[in-house]
Structure 1
Amino acid sequence: MKKLITTTIIFCTLLACNKNECVNSEKARIENNQIDGCGYTIRLNNGDQIEPVNLADFDIQPKHNQKVWVSYHINQNLSASICMVGDIVVIDCISER
């Protein structure tokens, strides 16, 4: 009985640690670029950087180096930005990790 309780507690703890609410998301972190007018960008785990156009639409308070889960798609309507550091994207989902 003790093993069952211990196993259940460990399992629940592991599930609670992974708070990924976004389907098909990637590990990333928010970066506060120091370029005038640039604002926040997102650095993906593979090193690529993306420029979200709708970060303010989500219930998240962005902070520099904040770890997040993010799913997105390329914004086909915009091809250039002030930052010019990566693809311009529309965020589909973002949550803290």
Structure 2
Amino acid sequence: MQSLFQILMLLLDVLWFFVIAHVIMSWLINFQVLNLRQQLVAQIWYALNRLLEPLYQPVRRILPNMGGIDLAPLVVLIGVYALRIILMNNAAAFY
């Protein structure tokens, strides 16, 4: 059972990294530091979008329209952190 706990924590860590990378990359694209016409940048951007859009879409339906500010990544990060806290507090159940 300890292996299951460690795998869940690893998956949450990877998800955390992907969301942070997506947010930073979106800033760099919007400030024209990165260009989507570059093949590598475009591939990474579209892969992150395909991966994270199923998580963002339900959150965006719940949140009100903020006029261009997307708070879905922040809500997903808070959710991931909350899941980590729940798992850590119940770690004894995995041993």
TM-score normalised according to structure 2 size = 0.30
Higher helix share: 2
Q: For the pair shown, which has the larger CA radius of gyration, 1 or 2?
A: 1
Structure of greater relative contact order (alpha carbons < 8 Å, 6+ residues apart): 2
Give the structure-1-normalised TM-score: 0.30
Greater per-residue strand proportion: 1
